[in-house]
Amino acid sequence: MSVTIYHNPDCGTSRNTLAMIRSTGVEPRVIEYLKTPPSRDEIRQLVQAMGVPLVTVMRRKGTPFDELGLGADGLPEDALLDAIAAHPILLNRPIVATPLGVKLCRPSELVFDLLDGPRPAVFVKEDGERVVPSA
């Protein structure tokens, strides 16, 4: 199965998601999106595949989201894409793409919905939280 994760290694949720993918025996394509940002077209395609408005996959905390006025009503998608291109930290993470779909995996266990291989009986996150993946 082809799996791509848009990953930030400084983010616990992203690290847990990557570990969950690997726990199923899959080695994903890892894109550290702060070092190698996706293009505007890639972002648009990911968001369209998710079926959500672009603003819902934008990160507010610890980003220039508010100071750039990105929460304003009626802001065109092109303005949001321009902002993400200039400030990749605005793209929330982790985003995972597989043949089964594309999701912003917050919480990290949402990734199991995108995987079709064997799952661990229990996965233990970095903070000790135990996750029992559904079949």
Catalytic residue among 5, 6, 7, 11: 11
Q: Is 105 a catalytic residue?
A: no
Are residues 77 and 128 in contact, defined by beta-carbon separation less than 8 angstroms?
Answer: no
Are residues 58 and 65 in contact, defined by beta-carbon separation less than 8 angstroms?
Answer: yes
Residues 133, 123: Cα–Cα separation, whole Å: 8
Are residues 111 and 3 in contact, defined by beta-carbon separation less than 8 angstroms?
Answer: no
Residues 14, 24: Cα–Cα separation, whole Å: 16
Residues 130, 23: Cα–Cα separation, whole Å: 14
Are residues 100 and 114 in contact, defined by beta-carbon separation less than 8 angstroms?
Answer: yes
Q: Cite the active site residues.
A: 11
